[in-house]
Homo-oligomer: A and B are copies of this chain.
Amino acid sequence: MTWLITGGAGYIGGHVVQQLLDAGERVAVLDDLSTGDRTRLPKEVALVEGSTLDRAALDAAIREHQVEGVLHFAAKKQVGESVEQPFLYYRENVIGLQTVLEAAAEGGVKRFLFSSSAAVYGMPDVDLVTESTPCAPMSPYGETKLAGEWLVAAAGKAYGMSTVALRYFNVAGAASPELSDAGVFNLIPMVFERLTAGQAPRVFGDDYPTPDGTCVRDFIHVSDIASAHVAAAKRLAADPAGATSLVLNIGRGEGVSVREMLDVIGKVTGYDATPEITPRRAGDPARVVASADLINRELDWTARHGVESMVASAWEGWCSRHPEARK
């Protein structure tokens, strides 16, 4: 069967396209290339250059490629920007999603996978976040992801689609330099940017109730994220249409502090990663670490990569775009 990957030219979507091809699946990509990059895609992959808000482009792509399943990645994903421009986020992430879902439902597509985020949890006050931890998103970005999960589940129920929503924790690393994250909104690239500009990395608060006082997160290699999607796609393909409605964390189930991550970054890059401590940012929870039990049970999936591999592969990607950075 053929999968339509919206946002397939993006950082995570690009990795999933690669692994689906490696697994022998057929894929077509819809991407407006607003942040995606055509060079992330192998030449043989059909790219429909279009927005998720463009119903006609979606209908044509589903018809032309005889799409039977959709993996929906296309979305805006910056928390701060979502506070400044909430309409943009609701339009792209909710209305865009609804447009894709309507095209899928009317096009007879019975399998749908949705990119969600640990941001749906907000400030979870638990050691390990399970899928039944109450959701209380703290930003328009997180809100649009939770509303998106609801819409996907409701559409699945109303139209007999099997659905999976995957809640990503802190994605990092790259399978290859060309596929690496070109943005500087996640911790590792943010630190690379400051180090290579001769600035100390910033740590927002070291007085959190954590072992070393800095925030603790569940970092996960994008190749592990991608393999979880392949497992989910196989599950969707195998189950009868409409039988499945899953919401799953994708994490390693292991907390790593920001300070520990800086130590690894210093070791890998050869830069002095001694941080400058600045005040806490509003809305940063002390600890957000996934329970990965449910995804392990449902998809027989486990993360394979550790933090060193995330940092080293991210650094290769950074240096491929900034050759002067390498010491």
Whether A158 contacts B94 by the Cβ 8 Å rule is: no
Q: How many residues of A contact B (CB 8 A)?
A: 27
Residue of B nearest to A147 (CB): B147
- In Å, the complex CA distance between A14 and B303 comes to 57
- Name the distance in Å between A76's Cβ and chain B's nearest Cβ: 13
Residue interface mask A153-177, B partner, CB < 8 A = 1: 0110110000000000000000000
Contacts of A135 in B (CB 8 A): 136
Whether A158 contacts B98 by the Cβ 8 Å rule is: no
- Name the distance in Å between A89's Cβ and chain B's nearest Cβ: 8
Contacts of A95 in B (CB 8 A): 94-95, 98
Q: Is the interface of A mostly helix, strand, loop or mixed?
A: helix
Contacts of A7 in B (CB 8 A): none
Beyond A86-B154, A140-B150, list 18 extra A-B contacts (CB 8 Å). Answer: A83-B154, A84-B158, A85-B158, A86-B151, A86-B155, A86-B158, A87-B98, A87-B101, A87-B155, A87-B158, A90-B94, A94-B94, A95-B95, A137-B150, A140-B151, A140-B154, A147-B147, A147-B150
Q: Provide a sorted-by-A list of 6 A–B residue pairs whose CB atoms are within 8 angstroms.
A: A84-B158, A94-B147, A134-B136, A135-B136, A140-B154, A143-B150
Q: Which 6 A-B pairs have the closest CB atoms?
A: A86-B154, A147-B147, A143-B150, A140-B154, A134-B134, A86-B158
